[in-house]
Amino acid sequence: MGCAAQIRYTTLSMFAAAMTTTANAQVIDFQVNFDGEINGQTIDASGSGGLDRSGQGNNFADIGFEAVPRNFNPLAVDALLTNVCPNGFRADGDSQNLWDLGNGNYSIERTFQWIGFPGSTIFSSAEVTFDDKNQLMTSSMTFSGNYSGPTDLVAIESYGVLWLPSSTEGEFFESGTAVVRRANGERLLVQFATRYFGLQESLRETQFGIGSLDAQWDGQNLTIGWEGEFEVTPTPGTGLIAGMGLLAFGRRRR
């Protein structure tokens, strides 16, 4: 290789290494832990992953289960991780993602229900903290409740949320829906209502979020990659939609 070619090759290699380092610096490591009981049986799982703060959608996680309740599939509760996922969503224009609001520190209370299975309700709560020194986010979530829906769930086809500001500082409400495909091609509709609180910033405006979740469950291990984005989109009837979605949460609070 000639001298000029060698210099050009070396320069390109250094540039590529610098770009890789910059990209890696945008990924925040996180650890997750899950416990509690579903259908009266223990759920025990833990894992780790990365949040892509660059907005390019390179978010991922791997979760292993020590104990899985019978007649339960984690895809029924949006693959467990949707209390963490919005930290890695893109925030366009005036919208805010979860990292903008909490910087990795917040709490949640959430209720899951499924259309066509009125006896099924699962409650969850989580504490999320960020260790700035070690650049590590940790989420600990506890589940309780019952699930009698299908377990042959194979993919999350769609995921959408509406975020509604609260009059309380550092708090907002979420109404969400996910569509999960079964092995036989039928769909399961998941509805969830969430209260986020203990945030460093308050949500400025009502906003919508759309996510794409690629989750794989083999009966013992869950792998997931995702991307998504938020957009401030005021529309007529927003308050009505939010109120309907938060009904389950209100029942839980009482």
Query: Tokens 């209720």 appear where?
Result: 111
Model pTM greater than 0.75?
A: yes
Give the model confidence (pLDDT) of 64-111 as tens digits. 999 999 999 999 998 888 999 999 999 988 999 999 999 999 999 999
Q: Are 112 and 80 in contact (CB under 8 A)?
A: no
Q: Are 69 and 220 in contact (CB under 8 A)?
A: no
Distance CA(33)–CA(47), nearest Å, equals: 7
Distance CA(166)–CA(60), nearest Å, equals: 30
Give the model confidence (pLDDT) of 135-179 as tens digits. 999 999 999 999 999 999 999 999 999 999 999 999 999 999 999
Note the CATH architecture for domain 29-253. Answer: Beta Barrel (2.40)
